[in-house]
Amino acid sequence: MLSGNVWGDGNILIGGAGSDLIEGRGADDIIDGDRYMNVRLSLRVGPNGSGAEIGSTDLMEHAALSGNFGAGTTGMTLQQAVFAGLVDPGNIVIVREILTPTVPASDCAAVAPVNCDTALFTGPRADYDITVVGDAMIVDHARGAGAGGGGGGGGGGGDNGTDTVRNVERFQFADQTVSLGVPGVPTIGTAVAGSGFAIVNFTPPTGTVLPAISSFTINVRTRR
């Protein structure tokens, strides 16, 4: 039985920098194409790792990457400071944190993309309900074989559960790949003037984009 500040309904899948293909499969997963797990050593002012942080590094064999290790430790690695008796190893804490890196713009159309994360789902697009909630997209496997929600670590029979997805550029389904983000610009035709109105024909942008295009707004301006 799980208790406390833990996630037990599915997996937490994070991609970090670069272009990743992430598949949640069963249960209710959290998917993020950009965030990554960072592990570091934090030196605290108090005993047993209590109090404020005074310095941090990624390895015992490295110098401080932020702050310092205290008086007399300039230029020392954390290991050297411990061996010299200047740092109490009991004041060192292992910190695990999920961070968001600075990433370039989406470039899925490039031959070798560097930021094109894809979330993979096993069923066809029609089997899923997709809604936008804040900065996330909720992808619910509502129909099709094995559908119906896979909470609690379940999700057999092909059920992808209900996933919370952030920072990915594409959804890949069994029958199509859908791009996420701002839709392309429609191709505007020639306006045909009428009596107090004008008829404008346009061609919608190609490709499937989420969130779906619900309407276009046309601003009419007159020349003076």
In 3D, which of 63, 91, 90 has the Cα closest to residue 78?
A: 63
- Contact status, residue 170 vs residue 37, Cβ threshold 8 Å: no
The residues facing 200 across adjacent strands are: 191
State the burial class of residue 162 (Cβ atoms within 10 Å of its Cβ: 0-12, 13-18, 19+).
buried
Question: At residue 25, what is the residue type?
Answer: R
Q: What is the pTM of this model?
A: 0.72
Looking up tokens 């208790």 gives 3
Q: 56 or 25: whose pLDDT is higher?
A: 56
* pLDDT score recorded for residue 34: 95
**SS3 of residue 207 by DSSP:** coil
Per-residue tokens: 139: 């992808």
Q: How many CB atoms lie within 10 A of CB 9?
A: 16
* Separation between Cα atoms, residue 192 and residue 134, nearest integer Å: 41
Work out the pLDDT band at 193, boundaries 50, 70, 90. Answer: confident
* pLDDT score recorded for residue 156: 43
* Separation between Cα atoms, residue 103 and residue 106, nearest integer Å: 9
Looking up tokens 């099709």 gives 144
- Contact status, residue 136 vs residue 101, Cβ threshold 8 Å: no
The predicted model gives 144-159 an average pLDDT of 54
* pLDDT score recorded for residue 182: 65
Q: 109 or 207: whose pLDDT is higher?
A: 109
Per-residue tokens: 197: 């109105």
Per-residue tokens: 70: 């205290």
Q: Is pLDDT above 80 for 224?
A: no
Which residue ranges make up each domain of the chain?
Answer: 12-35+104-180, 37-99
The residues facing 44 across adjacent strands are: 53
In the 8-state DSSP scheme, what is residue 81?
Answer: H
Provide CB contacts within 8 A for 51, sequence distance 6+: 44, 45
